[in-house]
Amino acid sequence: MNDVVRLLLMLALAGTAVTFAGSFAIWFFDEDRRIGRALKRVLKGEPEAMLVARGRGRGVGVNFATGLAAVAWDAGAWCLVYRIDELMGAELIIDDQVVARAHRDEPRRALDQRVSHAARVTLRLIFDDPQHPDFELDLWLTGDESRRVAASPGAAVLEANRWLARAEAILRRPRALNPSAAAAAAVTAPLPPPAAPGPTPPPTPQAELPLPQPRAGAEPPPWEDDDDLDPDDDQR
């Protein structure tokens, strides 16, 4: 009887351990957490704003403290880092039509319609990079209602519109020059004109040195001792 109880306890403990390990693995390898860890690594800090396209393995994050933005593919296995000022614009695309956009040096085109049904909702980010100029996040596709909890095209549109407002706030900031552009601007900047010479100051008068005075008790020089001259010597 004791052996049976011991066996049942061991099976219960083993089942609990397996359940705990499986739950931890599901939690640790969750798509959102994997992308969040990858973005935190490349952004050199916790992303202050992050958006994940669940089921597509893509995400984007921004860290305003470090001035960096990053996009991720393949659940965080691949990441690309940009400076925040390299963001040139963002677009909200619904069923292959741009319904809202925000671009640098252009007025924002706000969303003026309410969307409740759509086959595809996409957020497109545009960067100042000739090799990787844009990045698309499919926030909603037909068929997602069967595998997503509390998700809808309307919720995806609201989230994308929120990121459009965030992009517009970033675009309103003055764009910083990169080091090469700053160096070029410093080289081509005209030099200031030389300062005009000031008036020449008058020469400083030198103090006149006092004439040497004879010391007290000193004998006069022999050529000044007229009293010792003999008048007979002059006659001779």
**Which uninterrupted H or E stretch holds 38?**
helix 31-43
DSSP assigned state of 85? G
d(CA 68, CA 38): 14
d(CA 72, CA 156): 19
Q: Which residues pair with 140 in a beta bridge?
A: 121
pLDDT of residue 14: 80
pLDDT of residue 144: 82
Give the global pTM: 0.67
DSSP assigned state of 109? B
Q: Considering only CA atoms, which of 18, 62, 22 is closest in space to residue 42?
A: 62
* pLDDT per residue rounded down to tens, the chain (236 residues): 677 777 777 878 887 777 777 776 666 668 889 999 999 999 999 999 999 998 899 999 999 999 999 999 999 899 999 999 999 999 999 999 999 999 998 888 888 888 878 899 999 999 999 999 999 999 999 888 776 555 788 889 999 999 999 999 999 887 765 544 444 444 444 555 666 665 666 665 555 555 555 555 545 555 455 555 455 544 44
pLDDT of residue 103: 93
d(CA 38, CA 70): 10
CA angle 52, 55, 58 (to 5 degrees): 40
Q: Which residues pair with 63 in a beta bridge?
A: 68
d(CA 148, CA 56): 12
pLDDT of residue 73: 92
User: What torsion, rounded to 10 degrees, do the Cα atoms 128, 133, 135, 136 define?
Assistant: 120
